[in-house]
Structure 1
Amino acid sequence: MPSVLPDGEPMPEDGSLPRHALDGSGQRPLGFYLHVPYCATRCGYCDFNTYTANELRGSGGALASRDNYAETVAEEIRLARKVLGDDPRPVETVFVGGGTPTLLPAADLGRMLAAIRDEFGLAPGAEVTTEANPESVDPRYLEELRAAGFNRVSFGMQSARQHVLKILDRTHTPGRPEACVAEARAAGFEHVNLDLIYGTPGESDDDWRASLDAVIGAGPDHVSAYALIVEEGTQLARRIRRGEVPMTDDDVHADRYLIAEEALSGAGFSWYEVSNWATSEAGRCRHNELYWRGADWWGAGPGAHSHVGGVRWWNVKHPGAYAQALSEGRSPGAGRELLAEEDRRVERILLELRLEEGCPLSLLKPAGAAAAARALADGLLRPEAYERGSAALTLRGRLLADAVVRDLVD
């Protein structure tokens, strides 16, 4: 969850939604995102809404504590049931992110999941994921998660090289994420993801290849690989500004992406979103697909964002303020916006173009359609998809995705 919340209109104290938000909801899947804002230490590149123990000390008191956090989130899940009323949809995906969710006891994560199951029910075959820090889990913890109903786990690996991890202020030991994959498999997890970051200052092509080799050797069925974005206000941004470490340029990012595509596709992974690869359709992250396709999700936790039927809202950032609102029977929402039809059209193009199947050409206005024709001629869009009525990126188009989408939304 980003650390800066957008502007918007006030959120009703009871969290109620406009009547139109649930129109046609039966045709859209419903998911839950549960945000756990706690971290043992702050990574130098992180701009998410997270807090270490020192940052919370004396700030929000007991309300900001991890000890009663699961029950606080459960209270928001019960609020969601009231707001959504008699909406009959069971929940199809649950994703617990952070922060470091696995700083909480496995029983607490299970308690939050149980609240969703009790209030909404889980659809048959629902995907239930948690992020995990490799150093914060062990075989028993993973077994407890699996017993609680989690069936997918995502480990933050970032790199296999110690000096790269040091620049990122990551504290896990190289080799530990790979061991976690084996432990998760032994605990009964069918689906396991490893997260990578490329373009860290001081990382070489060989470092990146070593990370990819380590990931492939570990045997997950999903890999996410993201270019490092240096966010203003982070420790890493300050170090770069002081000249302590170099800034990585876009050409290096493009080279690393091509290396990743070659290595992962050669190992049986297929891309399905610009930064995500899976060994099968079943291995894809269905929760993230829910975001990319503009479905409905409720985000519970400090700073979490939600979207239901063209209404987007976000919670207050601080754990203490979040808990205080719920304890007083108020929505923790800090603000919301009602998306106009044009906003939703633009967002569909922005998000769906990143998917392997692309976005429908029917979404494009005349200027965007002309831009799509030029992108096709330039080798940025796939001809066979274009003939079927979709704008879908080639490999070269994936490297230039941001530029392509800017032209198509006109």
Structure 2
Amino acid sequence: MERFFHLRELGTTVKTEVLAGITTFLTMVYIIIVNPAILSAAGVPFEQVFTATIVAAVIGTLIMGIFAKYPIAIAPGMGMNAYFASVVATHGVSYQVVFGTVFVAGVIFLLLTLTKFRETLIQSIPNSLKYGITSGIGLFIAFIGLRMAEIVVANPENLVTLGDLSNPVTLLSILGLFITLLLMARKIKGALFLGMLVTAVIGYFMGLLHFDGVVSAPPSIVLFDLDIAGVFTHALYTVVFAFLLVTIFDTTGTMIGIAEQAGLMKDGKFPRAKPALMADAVATTVGATMGTSPSSAYVESSSGVAAGGRSGLTAVVVAVLFIGALFFSPVVAAISALPAITAPVLIIVGCFMMEGLAKISWKDFDEAFPAFAIILTMPLTSSIATGIAVGFIMYPIIKLVSGKGKEVHPILYTFGVIFAIQMAFFPAH
């Protein structure tokens, strides 16, 4: 196992990788509850989505761990599930037809992955944008953690404001944050996971963590009834394009950010890119046949990287735990229902991901502002894809007017135009 995953070369151990896998799983397991809840509102059977979500996560994450050997987890993405539900509502079509659009997008996704397109895309992204993406994701997931803990809440006058700190869940989140920070400051291995464990125990005695059973039989696994013909009958081409475009850039940006955080990028390049990019493409295609929205790389994987995960073994552990979740859905539901357990981890990891800011040349405005735009946009729009789009639009424009247009890779000009059109005429959210 050590030799297969090159653990010694990466400066990690089996124990560290297992702890990192558990940490990643606990920070992203909410998807097996949230995804069925969102898609069932569009008429899809809850248990069908529950099973499909886990199967897609297991397939994608195993491909990532075994073939690409990265500590990155794959699962149906947040945002795309909400878009799925909105398509059903606004286009007046059945969810089977919308699953058809997901399948078509997935097949195109696979074909693009078999070419060098996505690899070329990653290599064409300048370092300032890569660091901006990493830092933007950091702020984004920290903001998610703050919202989950209700440390910040919605406010009609200025969008957000400080929440009620006497709220039991908020209080537990803050306590969990300080406990985890204490463990981190003492440089205790597995501090993030131990912090969640201690927070869960405290939550149980506070009466906030409730278990309705432990083990349950997994729902049956069946293939879904897709309506691919309906995609063309209803001319849902823009929906296919939106699924494809957002998934490509969401997952590519996340992979770059996490690989950069883990120190796995080599001279600005992403080794073993093809199998890594194949993971989410296969998960999206298979997931559509079983009843779930497109899959993508999960930003929560950064919590596992922060816990020391550096190899594909971390991803394999995540996949195994997702399989286990099929049988322990009551326990998983209880833990994921208490945001105070995972929110502190997301806040702390957000700090770790800001390291790349020091590597951006802030004195060069044509490099600095596009990165700044990404960092600003991601948390404020709650969308990694939107942040990337803004950066891709800004970078070539500013370079061009600065007289440095030749420094920009042609693919950035192409996608700058595509993103501008996509955001103006058929935004995905």
TM-score by length of 2: 0.25
Q: Which has the higher contact order (CA 8 A, sep 6+)?
A: 2
More helix by share: 2
